[in-house]
Amino acid sequence: MERSLSFVTALITALALMTSVACQAPFGGLRSPTIPPDLGYIPPERVRTAMWVLAAEVRHLEELLEGQGQADPAFVRLEVGRSLDRMMLAARTLDQPGRSSQHPVLNENLGRFLERLERAKRAADRVPANLFQASTVAGSCFLCHGPIGTADSREGSSPYAARR
């Protein structure tokens, strides 16, 4: 009995050593990783964050432009320019070569939206400022999101939520 117990112990020890050696063999490095490949999508959280920034800036632009008669023109021009800069920064986080979002309309029109923002910024920076282009930026949002009050309430932000 003692002899069979020592044989079993020796066998288990030998198997453990062989397994240890086999795992460190040069062929161990050939195993492919189990991590899935990068599918080239922009994470939905990044899209959502950028859209919230754009929505807040559109609202800020509208407030600035509606009240521009009572405010200092230099202040309005400066604030419109800053708002457009923040919008361009947010939109550029979505403009990544080789990557796309899961929103085909966004993928197709993001370049044009950035051009529109850049045109509005150049016009706002002129002396005297031309704020017409800035006033049309909100119209870009309505192509996907519809006019205020028509968005799907399940999104959480009724004025700027995308229709499904």
**Token reading at 31:** 């195993």
Say if residues 77 and 83 touch (Cβ distance below 8 Å).
no
Say if residues 110 and 94 touch (Cβ distance below 8 Å).
yes
Q: Which of 55, 74, 88, 80 is nearest to 132 (CA)?
A: 80
- Between the alpha carbon of residue 93 and those of residues 42, 59, 86, 110, 128, the distances in Å are 9, 20, 11, 11, 31
- Helices and strands counted in the chain (H then E): 6, 0
Three-state DSSP class for 94? coil
- Tell me how far apart the alpha carbons of residues 116 and 79 are, in angstroms, rounded to a whole number: 18
Going residue by residue through the chain (164 aa), what tens digit of pLDDT does each one get? 666 667 767 767 776 666 666 666 555 555 555 545 566 778 888 889 999 999 999 999 999 998 877 888 889 999 999 999 999 999 999 887 777 777 788 888 889 999 999 999 999 999 888 999 999 988 777 777 766 544 444 444 434 444 33
Say if residues 134 and 123 touch (Cβ distance below 8 Å).
yes
pTM of the full structure: 0.65
